[in-house]
Structure 1
Amino acid sequence: MQLIYPKAPANGAQVLRPALQAALQSKGFGVNRQFAQATAAKVSLSEPYRGYSLSLDDLAQGKGLKQATLGDWHYLVFSDGVSIADAQLAQVGGQVEFASLNHGALAAATVNALNLAENTPHLQGRTYELRLLFVSALHVAAIWLHASDEDVLIPIEPTPKHLASTKLYSEAALLALLAPAAQRVKTTFDADTTGQLGG
């Protein structure tokens, strides 16, 4: 399996490095052990790939990946070959700026999902664009392998286990699992008159 990447902003890594260096020096709250032990000299970045979001309304209405909206650029941060964080850049008015650094399970889960895909026989010899899909209202994240004739989705943490396990799904199979949950959450939101549940 070969991964391809969208054309990224030329200065993405330059924008990211100062934020990474500051984070490595502060070693603040919530930093995982590998990140806390990393040094700037040993840190490397993956190729950047895009995040996408699918809204609760679209999912509840049975709409698919074509409705997903473009989000941030994501970079996996490695130290000594181990994934230690997911770094995000936002594109604002043609410029990129540092958005966030996720020290949680997202980076390791992404690598594990890609290893799973790499070892799946029917994906061998295929080329996919690497994407990351979020359905925020359901706390769902998934690796999205996109080709012109096929979309393969692998749910990763923090996706709740009762919604989907970490394995390969077609677009139709994963959305069929998520749509009923989306309809239930949307019904709850729509019934809320306090305005405290969001939209």
Structure 2
Amino acid sequence: MAIHPSEPPAAAVVAVKQAVASRVGNPKFPRSRLFTANRDAVFISLPHRIAYLAFGKIRRADNLRAAAKLGNWRFLVIEAKRRTAANDGGEEEQEPIAAATMVKSAATTYETTYELGDLNEGPFVAATSEAIRRAEKLPEVREGAFEAFLLTVPAVYVAALWLQDRHGYADLLLTLPPSNQALEPYRPMASAAFLDVVQDLARKVTSDHATRG
């Protein structure tokens, strides 16, 4: 397929499965969607790295790949649900209910271990899944080879699905709602155009701070 799966460390995969399983139906987490999820219908999907673009790097950046720093592994937690409407024919629907971020907990000469750093059930979970769905329909994605990352730019409140071109530099970014409204949700953008908008937002942040000062 056009969006190729990432290859997370085996230890991270084992750790995320254990962390999610320990929370499904667990009364210690009554407000979590995992508490009400069907244990037999929950699985891990779409492993991808989180990339972070720091405020200090934005204005000097002329290349997104060089400016962004790769960080932890993130996994979507999916619950498979059987549709009940008569016209659905009993088809299965896969609903993203959480995103688990795994962080390194220890490293020795022989192995690196992982633990749950964050379990998020906010809007960026469903938005990541929706961005993937839309991206897979794009001609340039269908005909190319890409790897998915989550790019976060906290200083200007932007998160985006970042599709890195495996055979070149024709990267695409789809902004995830509810990011900064200066970027249209899910509209595919080349990395240079995306970076231009983010740099404009950073200049506005700097100007606002100077005015308040």
Letter aligned with residue 163 of structure 2? L
* Structure of higher CA gyration radius: 2
So what's the TM-score if we normalise by structure 2?
Answer: 0.79
Deviation at 1:191, TM superposition (A): 7.7
Q: Any stretches of 5+ residues in structure 1 without a counterpart? A: 194-199
Alignment match, 1:138: 156
Count of paired positions: 190
Aligned amino acid, residue 50 of structure 2: G
Distance 1:23 1:105 in 2: 20
Amino acid at match of 1:85: A
The structure 1 residue matched to 2:123, chosen from 91, 102, 105, is 105
Contact 1:60–1:182 under 8 Å retained in 2:
yes
Partner deviation per Cα, 1:17-60 (whole Å, 9 max, x = no partner):
3321333213434x35xx44312221111141100001112112
> Cα distance, 1:146 vs. partner?
0.4
Matches within 5 A, 1:1-199: 1-24=1-24, 25=26, 26-29=28-31, 31-32=32-33, 35-65=34-64, 66-80=66-80, 81-92=94-105, 93=107, 94-147=112-165, 148-188=168-208
Task: Structure 2: state its 5+ residue gaps.
Answer: 81-93
CA distance in 2, matches of 1:28, 1:60: 43
CA contact (8 A) 1:164 1:177 kept: no
Q: Deviations over 1:80-123 (max 9, x none)?
A: 02111111101354332211111111221011111111112232
Letter in 2 for 1:157: P
Q: Which secondary structure does the structure 2 equivalent of 1:48 belong to?
A: strand
Kept in 1: contact 2:12–2:113 (CA 8 A): no
Compared CA separation, residues 189 and 83, structure 1 to 2 (3 A): same
TM-score w.r.t. the length of structure 1 is 0.85
Query: Quick check: 2:159–2:179 contact (8 Å CA) kept in 1?
Result: yes
Across the aligned residues of Structure 1 and Structure 2, the Cα RMSD in angstroms comes to 2.2
| Deviates most, 69-78 or 164-173 | 164-173
2:91 aligns to what? none
